[in-house]
Amino acid sequence: GVWKGLMSEAQPVRVSAVLVGPPEGRQAELRITATMESGWYIYSLTQQPGPTTPSRIQLDPSDAYRIEGPFQPDRPPERTQDPVLGNVWIEKHPGKVTWRALVRLAEGVNPQDVVIQGRLRAQPCTATRCLSPQNFPFIARWEAGEVAADLLSGLAGSSTSSEPSAPPEPQAVPPGSSTEPTGPSDAVVGGSLAPGGLAVKVGLAFLGGLILNLMPCVLPVISLKLFSFLQQAGESRSRIMVLNLWYTAGLMAVFFVLAALTAGLGHAWGEQFTLAWFKIALTALVFVMALSFLGVWEIPIPGFAGGSTSVQLQQKEGPAGAFFKGVFATILATPCSGPFLGALFGFLLGQSALVVFVIFGAVGLGMAAPYLVLGAFPELIRFLPKPGDWMETLKELMGFFLLGTVVFLFSTMHHRYFVPTLTLLIGLWLACWWIGRTSLTASLASKWAAWLGGPAVAALIGWLAFSVLAYEPTLSGPLEPAQSNPGSSATAPLSSVPWQPFSSERLAQLRSEGKTVMVYFTANWCLTCKFNLKWAIDTAEVRQWIAENGVAPLLADWTDESPVIKKALNELGYNSIPVLAIWPADTNRPPIILPDLVTQGQVLQALKSAGPSRSQP
């Protein structure tokens, strides 16, 4: 039942069409019907663009007919405030809606021979989330019937509404035209990739996973795998292959868990780092691992480089240790989104569970590929020295690398958790010291006391720390810019760019004022985001262009959980960060989107393509 539910939710909108007219004649009525699953809706054709995406009807080119007049809905859209975006007004169609338009057939065309093919481009949404804009194809064939009198007379057939009047109904997209952005710098909204089927996307996913090994998020834990290679020097080919397969199994296990969360809950890549409890738990895990490498205690996983003597260091890595390293490396990799991955994760919005698992599996295999190659060709690591006393020093140095990772994880937290988390780490230090000082020859009672008492004391210290010390002071003065952001409580990165906190209302206001708006979706836990900010966005050249052309920069800080920012990101067709989106002053143009790693040249080109604001400050 769960699997069936995951598969069916991928298509919450069904579209059908029919061409109605008399057996003889040159006029017919095209009816396009969209039926939404319970709880889902799509935006109207008259929805104002911005943080939301209007629906569009596109017809394939044909000489057999032409559309006369606009498409009219059989009932007016519901006009309400978006439940997540707040004061943004939306026009939505829940349930079922049919659009009608008059069709004039060409001379000599038999109505029964006419077939109209096209697609409805719409963005399915619920009260809590939106999928990326999708194309819903349809085929309309002729059926005998009468054309509605209001269409023949050219009068609008929709009923009136007491709500404020909507802008003029847009015309149907002429056959052969496209509503997609064009030009070298206008990225396609919706996370679309280069032309190609699923095989191409699987190949890009594999390549993206391979590159993920070089991203800064993974580098701290690469030391663990390096230590494994040192331990494997001199081993047989079969044992090295088995251990690397166990490492791959741990890595793939995490990817499949993330795939399940994405398919079932719409989980974004790296979204777990927006959860305070996850960041605190991961910080604690890395810290106790660092203490193990520094010899304070020994991780009770066979072959996990535990212990403080060279004899223990020379014990061979075991399957459990290899599996756990694969899990740990993958978890630390998730704050980064390398090349190709941003568009791929955006493509997965609204896809079936099977496609989600295939893409995530390909990314995982790409990340595991170097280790599988080393397992198949162990002669590549024959040059490494054999294990010995020198590894004790190397192991302790790796412990300091892990402590550096702890510092990084602290930088991703809200300041209110600094002191409680530090107190928790001291409690864990006490527990590890207690366990580490209990010798192997100690009595069973002493061992039980250490292994039960230590964690119990640490848990008590942690509970007291977060109960007493994790408070939020009341501010009597005005909020700081980052704190006024309804989607984030984290401090914005220090920058010379005059960032304003992102909100959908602010974006809509700036666009209505004729501003070119640059929105950067980022987070403190995303090292790729920080790299972009330092080397591509917050540079002298970019700052100068922003100032001279009146560009309004907004910072969407996703360091902490934020439904507002996640929905805005999904509506652009993406489900991972970093993403830089630039809305031109011309409201008829789509946003220009730069995902993943970017260069200063790309940012400047996108800004120049968007153009200056219409109203200068």
Order of all β-strands in the sheet with 89-94: 41-43, 89-94, 78-81
CB neighbours (10 Å) of residue 301? 18
Q: What is the mean pLDDT of residues 375-396?
A: 70
279, 412 Cβ separation under 8 angstroms: yes
Average pLDDT over residues 96-125: 88
Q: Which positions ≥6 away from 381 have C-beta within 8 Å?
A: 229, 232, 233, 240, 374
The amino acid present at 246, given as its one-letter code, is W
Nearest Cα to 457, choosing from 432, 436, 439?
A: 432
User: Does residue 97 carry a pLDDT above 90?
Assistant: yes
pLDDT at 605 (0 to 100):
92
Q: Which pLDDT tens digit goes with each residue over 530-542?
A: 889 989 999 999 9
Encoded amino acid at 351, one letter: Q
Chain centre to alpha carbon of residue 122: 20
pLDDT(182) > 50: no
* pLDDT score at 332: 75
Least confident of 86-95, 380-389, 436-445: 380-389
pLDDT of residue 295: 83
Alpha helix positions (H), 110-162: 149-152
Among 177-186, 234-243, 391-400, the least confident range: 177-186
Q: Which of 92-101, 182-191, 193-202, 403-412 has the highest mean pLDDT?
A: 92-101
The reported pLDDT for the residue numbered 42 is 92
User: For 454-488, what is each residue's pLDDT tens digit?
Assistant: 899 989 998 888 876 764 433 333 333 333 343 44
Report the C-alpha gap between 85 and 568 in whole angstroms: 8
Tens-digit pLDDT profile for residues 114-161: 889 888 988 888 877 777 678 888 999 888 888 887 777 664 444 333
As a whole number, mean pLDDT of residues 433-447 equals: 83
pTM score:
0.53
pLDDT score of 296 more than 60: yes
How many percent of the chain have pLDDT more than 90? 20
Whether pLDDT at 106 is above 80: yes
pLDDT at 481: 38
Amino acid 312: pLDDT: 44
Look up residue 228 and give its DSSP letter: H
In the DSSP assignment, the letter for residue 533 is I
Q: Is the pLDDT of residue 189 over 90?
A: no
- What is d(CA 315, CA 161) in angstroms, rounded to the nearest whole number? 78
Closest-CA residue to 29 (of 203, 152, 200)? 152
CB under 8 Å, gap of 24 or more: what pairs does 595-599 form?
Answer: 595/187, 595/337, 595/342, 595/343, 595/346, 596/337, 596/338, 596/339, 596/340, 596/341, 596/342, 596/343, 596/528, 597/338, 597/339, 597/528, 597/531, 597/532, 598/532, 598/536, 598/537, 599/535, 599/536
Q: What's the pLDDT at 412? A: 80
DSSP H helical ranges for 490-537? 504-512, 527-532
> Is residue 300 over pLDDT 80?
no
β-sheet with 65-73: strand ranges across:
56-59, 115-122, 134-144, 13-21, 27-36, 96-105, 65-73
CA–CA dist 151, 102 (Å, integer): 6
Give the residue-averaged pLDDT of 367-376: 85
**For residues 412-419, average pLDDT:** 82
Instruction: Give pLDDT, residue 370.
Output: 87
Q: What pLDDT is recorded for position 99?
A: 94
The whole-angstrom separation of Cα 41 and Cα 17 is 19
Question: For residue 221, what pLDDT is reported?
Answer: 62
Residue predicted with more confidence, 275 or 363: 363
C-beta of residue 246 within 8 angstroms of C-beta of residue 318: no
The rounded mean pLDDT for the chain is 77
Lowest mean pLDDT among 60-64, 433-437, 579-583, 592-596: 60-64
| Phi, psi (rounded to 5 degrees) for 428 | -65, -35
Mean pLDDT of 539-552: 93
Q: What is the pLDDT of residue 219?
A: 63
Tell me the pLDDT band of 188, cut-offs 50, 70 and 90: very low
Least confidently predicted of 239-248, 329-338, 594-603: 329-338
**Most confident range, picked from 190-194, 493-497, 562-566:** 562-566
Question: Is 70 exceeded by the pLDDT of residue 588?
Answer: yes
Longest CA pairwise span in the chain (Å): 100
- The helix-helix angle for 237-265 and 353-376 (nearest 10°) equals 160
Q: Are 206 and 369 in contact (CB under 8 A)?
A: yes
443, pLDDT greater than 60: yes
Percent of the chain with pLDDT over 70: 75
Torsion angles phi and psi, residue 434, rounded to 5: -60, -45
Q: Which long-range contacts (CB under 8 A, 24 or more apart) does 164-170 make?
A: 164/79, 166/44, 166/46, 166/79, 166/91, 167/46, 167/48, 168/46, 169/45, 169/46, 169/70, 169/71, 169/72, 170/45, 170/46, 170/54, 170/56, 170/70
The per-residue DSSP string of 34-49 comes to EEEPTT-EEE-TTPPS
125: three-class secondary structure by DSSP: strand
pLDDT at 184: 31
356 close to 256: Cβ distance less than 8 angstroms: no
Mean pLDDT of 240-261: 88
